[in-house]
Amino acid sequence: MPESKLSPEDQANQINLNLATDMSESKLLSHADNIDEKERFIDITEKEGDFVKSLLRWFDQEARDLPWRALPEDLTLRRDPYVVVLSELMLQQTQVTTVIDYFNRFMMRFPTIVALADADETEVLKLWEGLGYYRRARHLHALAKEVTTRFNGVLPRDREELLKLPGVGSYTAGAIRSFAYNLPDAAVDGNVVRVSARIDAKPYIKNDARTAKTIRERVLALLPYERSGDFNEALMDLGAMICTPKNPSCEICPVSLFCKARLKGRVDDFPIRNKKIAKPVSSFSYVALWRDGRLFVRCRGEGLLEGLYEFLALPERFDKDEKQALHLALEKMFLSNTREDKMKEERKPKLHLSWRGKRRAVFSHRIWDMTFWDAEWIGDDSLDGILVQEEDCASSSHDGWHDGQWVTRDELVTLPFSAFLSPWRDTLLDDRQSNIVAQRKV
Ligand code: SF4
């Protein structure tokens, strides 16, 4: 794409002029047909209008049919702004195919931003369960509340106002402005970075703020103002469908004639990847501890996975062959919470432990290396006082008993868990259900 010294407005005027006066498509193609394959290249800096026109023509025929692209009720809008912000937050770091069901469920339960603002955060997180990156759900909920109280339930059009809302960065602000209001703004995601890097054969870096800023200015310079939303979505769709990270379909690419990376035979060299930095690893064990038909859970406090529930966490990792060591560690934990020392020995709990497996969870800045155990606590009711029940969500460390609670099977169903714990939680629920049915039959 061209380096532009013109303002976005001047550039847009120039593009619109180009759209009207540049050589016709047939002329363009007949020129291309008459030259050697390797020479089939048009310098985009000289033919911006043709680039824009080729891309939009392709988009008009091939745009992805996605549930969040349905026409809004208010036809003065290009798209419902709430639908844009909901879908865009869901799509961050997540595949389109994964998001579709979540999006439909969310729209069913919270059809408007006001309905979402009125919801309880636990319910919002529960509906988000399995989608990952839960901070997005909390941001979305906080945004809904703020838009409802400050802007009467309508997302602002002003970029600066949008950037002050929870969870809204440069990309999301550009998406809301251009997708919903068709305002001249750019939305630079990973797809747009990849397409831009290849068209220009420039060493743009993936996931790099400075690169995103540079590309934003370039997209702004190319924007046809009357179709800002379409142009941004066309770049994204091209990246998602044709200019894919591996094996791009250059032979059917609508802008292949403008692509420097293709011309140089260096498509795979762009964009450049950031060097991977080793992530710190935390190793620990989770224990699903049942007692009298109730399970011990705790809500995570500020920080990673805030607001989600988890099982009893021990700060050490106990592997399959370390059952005895886990038993001792749990005993120690019970006894250290017993307030009457002389009672300790006679109140030792009876525990049945069984191995569930192990798992690594990779987050953006760290890794959790976990083992999972089931446990059944049998016996002494007088141990009730052992568990210290403080406020929910008071701490996010793996610190055993503090701020936990015992929940029934029915309560457990309503609580949100992380993507790596929810399958285990579901298995526990199934097991319990089978036990209840078996006991009834006896
Ligand atoms: S020609 Fe190939 S590398 Fe270039 S933009 Fe099209 S799909 Fe991407």
Percent of the chain with pLDDT over 70: 79
Q: State the distance from the centre of ligand 1 to the C-alpha of 251, rounded, in angstroms.
A: 8
CATH 3.90.79.10 at 281-441, yes or no: yes
Question: Helix or strand or coil: residue 420?
Answer: coil
Q: State the distance from the centre of ligand 1 to the C-alpha of 45, rounded, in angstroms.
A: 17
- Confirm or reject: Cβ of 197 under 6 Å from ligand 1: no
* pLDDT for res 396: 44
- Confirm or reject: Cβ of 263 under 6 Å from ligand 1: no
Assess contact for 366 and 280: CB atoms under 8 A.
yes
* pLDDT for res 41: 77
* pLDDT for res 48: 77
Grade residue 350 by pLDDT with cuts at 50, 70 and 90: confident
> Is the pLDDT assigned to residue 44 strictly greater than 90?
no
Pairing relation of β-strands 312-314 and 404-407?
Answer: unpaired
Q: State the distance from the centre of ligand 1 to the C-alpha of 44, rounded, in angstroms.
A: 13
Give the residue, out of 256, 264, 269, with the most ligand 1 atoms within 8 A of its beta carbon, to mutate for a pocket test.
Answer: 256
Q: State the distance from the centre of ligand 1 to the C-alpha of 181, rounded, in angstroms.
A: 29
> Is the pLDDT assigned to residue 146 strictly greater than 90?
yes
Closest ligand 1 atom to residue 256 Cα is 1
pLDDT (mean) for 60-67: 97
pLDDT digits (tens, 9 = 90+) for 94-114: 999 999 999 999 999 999 999
Q: State the distance from the centre of ligand 1 to the C-alpha of 381, rounded, in angstroms.
A: 69
Catalytic hit among 48, 88, 129, 233: 88
pLDDT (mean) for 416-438: 81
> Is the pLDDT assigned to residue 316 strictly greater than 60?
yes
Q: What's the predicted TM-score (pTM) here? A: 0.77
* pLDDT for res 231: 98
Active site residue 46: no
Closest ligand 1 atom to residue 253 Cα is 6
pLDDT (mean) for 383-402: 45
Higher pLDDT, 428 or 96: 96
Grade residue 13 by pLDDT with cuts at 50, 70 and 90: very low
* pLDDT for res 93: 87
437 CA to centre of own chain? 38
Q: State the distance from the centre of ligand 1 to the C-alpha of 244, rounded, in angstroms.
A: 8
Of all helices (H) and strands (E), which one includes residue 26? helix 25-33
Of all helices (H) and strands (E), which one includes residue 117? helix 113-117
* pLDDT for res 404: 82
Q: At what angle do helices 190-200 and 228-241 cross, to 10 degrees?
A: 80
- Confirm or reject: Cβ of 291 under 6 Å from ligand 1: no
Percent of the chain with pLDDT over 90: 66
Fold observed for domain 8-269: Endonuclease III; domain 1 (1.10.340)
- Confirm or reject: Cβ of 262 under 6 Å from ligand 1: yes
Closest ligand 1 atom to residue 255 Cα is 6
* pLDDT for res 388: 41
Residue 115, classified by CB atoms within 10 Å of its CB into exposed (0-12), middle (13-18) or buried (19+), is middle
Of the candidates 191, 168, 154, 176, which has an alpha carbon nearest to the alpha carbon of residue 228? Answer: 176
DSSP character string of 60-82: HHH----GGGSPPSSTTSSS-HH
Q: Share the mean pLDDT of the chain.
A: 84
Pairing relation of β-strands 281-291 and 367-378?
Answer: parallel
Cα gap 63→181, rounded to integer Å = 19
* pLDDT for res 291: 86
Of the candidates 214, 274, 206, 275, which has an alpha carbon nearest to the alpha carbon of residue 239? Answer: 206
- The phi, psi pair for 242, rounded to 5°, reads -115, -55
Grade residue 338 by pLDDT with cuts at 50, 70 and 90: low
- Confirm or reject: Cβ of 271 under 6 Å from ligand 1: no
Q: Specify the residue with its C-alpha closest to ligand 1, atom 4.
A: 259
Where do the domains of the chain lie?
8-269, 281-441
Closest ligand 1 atom to residue 254 Cα is 6
Cα gap 375→326, rounded to integer Å = 11
pLDDT digits (tens, 9 = 90+) for 162-197: 999 999 999 999 999 999 999 999 999 999 999 999
- Confirm or reject: Cβ of 192 under 6 Å from ligand 1: no
Q: State the distance from the centre of ligand 1 to the C-alpha of 61, rounded, in angstroms.
A: 18
pLDDT (mean) for 22-41: 45
Cα gap 351→330, rounded to integer Å = 9
Closest ligand 1 atom to residue 250 Cα is 2
User: 10 Å Cβ neighbour count for 118?
Assistant: 12
- Confirm or reject: Cβ of 240 under 6 Å from ligand 1: no
Higher pLDDT, 301 or 79: 79
> Is the pLDDT assigned to residue 245 strictly greater than 50?
yes
> Is the pLDDT assigned to residue 61 strictly greater than 60?
yes
- Confirm or reject: Cβ of 257 under 6 Å from ligand 1: no
